[in-house]
Chains A and B, each alone.
Chain A
Amino acid sequence: MAFGGAHSNSGPILVVRSATRRFGPVVALENASLSVDRREFVTLLGPSGSGKTTLLRIIAGLDEPSSIVELSIGGADMRGIPANHRNVATVFQHYGLFPHMSVGKNIEFGLLVRGRPADERRRRAREALELVRLPDMFDRRIHQLSGGERQRVALARALVTEPEILLLDEPLGALDERLRREMQVELLRLQQKLGTTFILVTHSQEEALTMSSRVVLMNHGRIVQDGRPQELFEQPRSKFVANFMGIENVLVGRVASIEARTVNLVVNDRQFTGQLLTGFTPAPQEPVFIATRAERVDIGNGSSSSRGLNSIAFTSSLSVYKGTHYDIELSTPLGTLVSRQPKPLQAQEGGVALWSSDDCVVGPIDREIDLKGCRPQGRNE
């Protein structure tokens, strides 16, 4: 079997410690640290300009960090080692297929460079083509391929060298919706089959959730949260994380009182109750966010003042059909809240939105909690 290089040695396959990259006055990546285990599928998620591609390029050796404490791949120090001497391979968003070579020659390139004999190159390139389900494309010209086929060829070309880590830089960005979903499943299948470590860069929250068991969320050049997708949903470490992960209802208020981990806060003269994030202890009057997912918001018709229940009246609503459910946008004095319901609501009908305080997460606005301890970093988002 030519694929799935068996690495017996344990320990993380990748360690990045305190990587910083400056472009003139712009800090593209600030003090980023990341440790990835073998066979992990990690997603670097973030908006454009968040530094995720810069981090990927530093791992690939295509960019040099301005400063870095540690960079090791497979246990070996890779600081200052150029890309062509690192055993990682990248699938680029632009694919970067060589237009003057056939599909087969493109895939063979990494082996040619490594001085493998012609018959071995040919055999392994054919195996790689079968792996990406394009078995009859060996002699095709690049310009004869569709977008999805190019994507697969780029993937085969990167995998044929048996890299320790496969880096994917927004590889699905140029594909249409149906192909994207197909390739997402394809990548998952490949990763499980080969057991290679995959690091995927994307700006799509949905893609990150579909693909990976671990999401590293970045913003303004910094890693803001690193964890399982559920953690990012249920314990967003900042308002940015809550918003970016698509938590529908995020309000901003001030702390009124704290009882154990339950906090009362005031949003525009209205009282709400929620649960503090682990590791977060706000000062009185500190501005905080309170976040609730749409499926946790119920709709009732009388005002309720029962303890542990948040409520707010709405005057009208808009029901948006989502295929399996409706997202009902409720017009409230605090703006639009979203409730997920199996049935639509009469637009003119008013009512009360209700949700349990146990489903509310309360976190900091203008600082992020340190992931390991409670040390505030005191930086603006």
Chain B
Amino acid sequence: MTASEQLRAAVERERMILRWSTAVAVILGCVGIILIYGPIVWLALMSISEQPLTGKPGPFTTIWYVKLFTDMRWFDPLMVSLAIASTVSVLCMFTAAAIGRVLPHVGAVGLVILSMILIVLFMPGVMLGVDFIIFYRILLGIRTGVWSLILAHFVWAFPFALLSVIIVASRFDTRLLEVARDLGAGRWRCFRSIELPLLLPGILSAGFFGFLLSLNELPRSIFLRGGITTLPLFEWAEAASHSTMVPLIYGLSTLITLGSLVLTVLALSLLFKRETA
């Protein structure tokens, strides 16, 4: 073989390796997506099947959806969940905005505070639920109920909300505030006209995260519910008790999942929207 033929063979080998590794990566990616979305699609299929509890799809029917909207026992828990989630969402927006706008610009202190907040993410939810009930009810005297749920959901959702604001705030060019001051703007005007509009995508997605994480929260709610029934608590209880509600849960879960999906896509597109767009 001449030197030039050897070179060509080597280049061809490199191309083959690249082709194969790309193929493997695509296949693994598809497996991952199927593992994540398979159950959700299956759930949707079950919700329109006559015998959902058998786990086999078909023959297809809309009977469960019709029953879902005649037997409305899930409606009150949904309203409770929406009310709690909305409150948590607003709380998340305000606190994440207030803290997240400063943290990227205060150096090492910001990092320490951020890690303190993020550590909460790594604690098991059930354990935190027990901790909360002991600390809030016994030590602080907070009665379990709506407010303890809101508090627990907020503690759970806040780190995510904060991260959304920080992603945007760390891209924020603080020199713009100096420019605004130079043009005659006071502090409030600087915040309202320059900082807030530029941080808004992060603040709004903080709200979305707060809303979704609260809406679907179960482990902490089990301990802190008091007399309150949220939607996840309702579904959990119904699914566990083999009641006639069970087939309906499929339909309900499908609807909630679809709704959450839309909100999540909205939140993410806001978060990663280019500043210049």
Contacts and interface: CB of A to CB of B under 8 A. Distances in A.
Interface stretch (B32-40, B124-132, B158-166, B179-187): B179-187
A84 B175 contact: no
B276 interface: yes
Contacts of A82: 181
Contacts of A198: none
A109 interface: yes
Given A113-B189, A141-B276, A142-B276, A98 B194 contact: yes
A113 B184 contact: yes
A118 B178 CA distance: 24
Interface of B: 173, 175-176, 178-186, 189, 193-194, 197-198, 275-276
A141 B181 CA distance: 22
Nearest to A110: B183
A99 interface: yes
A84 B186 contact: yes
Interface string A58-83: 00111000000000000000000011
B181 A62 contact: yes
Interface stretch (A87-95, A251-259, A288-296): A87-95
A100 interface: yes
Contact of B176 (A85, A96, A112, A157): A96
Contacts of A90: 179, 182
A96 B180 CA distance: 9
Contacts of A158: 183
B275 A84 contact: no
A114 interface: yes
Nearest to A99: B275
Size class of the A contact interface (CB-based, 8 Å) = 20 to 34
B198 to A, nearest CB: 6
Given A62-B178, A94-B175, A143-B276, A100 B198 contact: yes
Contacts of A94: 175
Interface string A37-74: 00000000000000000000000111000000000000
A352 B40 CA distance: 92
A321 B185 CA distance: 52
A354 to B, nearest CB: 54
A84 B179 CA distance: 10
Among B175, B176, B198, find the residue whose CB has the most chain A CB atoms closer than 10 A: B176
A157 B197 contact: no
Contacts of A151: none
Given A96-B175, A96-B176, A98-B194, A84 B181 contact: yes
A319 interface: no
9 contacts: A83-B181, A90-B182, A98-B180, A99-B198, A100-B275, A109-B193, A110-B184, A112-B193, A142-B276
A60 B181 CA distance: 10
